[in-house]
Amino acid sequence: MTSGTGWITGDAEAFTRDFLPLFRPVPPARPGVCRICRSGPDNAGDTGGPRGICGSCERTTKNLYGHARHVIPISLTTTNAQLHDVLVRRRDPVGAGGRRRRADFLAATVAHFYDRHSRCLEGLAGGPFTLVATVPGNDPETPATAFHLMWQVVEKVPALARLWRPLLLEPDTAFAPVLAGRRSHRDAFLIPRADRLSAARVLLVDDLFVSGAHVQSAASALIEMGAEAVVALVIARLINPASRDGHGTGLWEESCQRPFSFDRCCVCDPAAHGAA
């Protein structure tokens, strides 16, 4: 299925077909759905806008140099879902055709999604991507493994691998507790000075989006070094179906009632255009 150069589109499609039950559709931005992370409750009442950002995104973006204005998750997940086990507990997924290697599954997922929705992502960036970056050290316990995992994933997707550069340095240990505490910091990820990114449009790829502390700190560093736009593509967006405000419950129930399809994303979903 994999070749030396990566996933051929048909292969990624066939591979992911066995795993469709692992994915849950992501709602399009609309009143009640954050326009950055496509999840948490918006606080339109506080911000006065019809499509506000959630309290979590407000916290993780406010003290940064800049941030990704759009985070596009391929799927929603909860901590009880198999997709979460694959991402966080490093389990190899089991689909209709049996157990497969985790890195292959993630690469096929990204390859299939990017093949279908690169235009959606480029539209948000204002043009074709000129660079691809991955967030290093997402797992405070094994930063090197996490770094290599996302690189292994992107490496198998030729459309992304050709634009990937090792731009972001692993966070200094001083920032580990900050990020682990789900707080962002503009200096958490540094970029070597030689790598000034004049007017680059960057696709920032990561595995799991929780608060966005990692993704948004990384986006801030990219923008501070000159990137014109950063759009984040994440495999899954974690939601809490037992949230006290009931918002996560509603989003998760809605998501479980709709079949997942690689043919639509939260940007091009026809429901996005029907929303008030």
- Give the residues lining the site for Zn ion (CB under 5 A): 34, 36-37, 40, 54, 57, 117, 120, 265, 267-268
State in angstroms the smallest separation of the CB of 121 from Zn ion.
Answer: 8
- Which residue lies nearer to Zn ion by CB, 88 or 268? 268
- Which residue lies nearer to Zn ion by CB, 121 or 153? 121
- Which residue lies nearer to Zn ion by CB, 54 or 208? 54
State in angstroms the smallest separation of the CB of 196 from Zn ion.
Answer: 30
Q: Which residue has the tokens 């240990």?
A: 173
Burial class (CB in 10 A: 0-12, 13-18, 19+), 3: exposed
CB 140 within 8 A of CB 133: no
State in angstroms the smallest separation of the CB of 175 from Zn ion.
Answer: 22
Measured between alpha carbons, how far is 42 from 36 in angstroms, rounded to an integer? Answer: 10
State in angstroms the smallest separation of the CB of 275 from Zn ion.
Answer: 15
Measured between alpha carbons, how far is 81 from 256 in angstroms, rounded to an integer? Answer: 12
Measured between alpha carbons, how far is 213 from 246 in angstroms, rounded to an integer? Answer: 23
- Which residue lies nearer to Zn ion by CB, 168 or 267? 267
- Which residue lies nearer to Zn ion by CB, 55 or 95? 55
State in angstroms the smallest separation of the CB of 57 from Zn ion.
Answer: 3
- Which residue lies nearer to Zn ion by CB, 87 or 266? 266
Query: How far out from the chain centre does Cα 203 lie?
Result: 10
State in angstroms the smallest separation of the CB of 37 from Zn ion.
Answer: 3
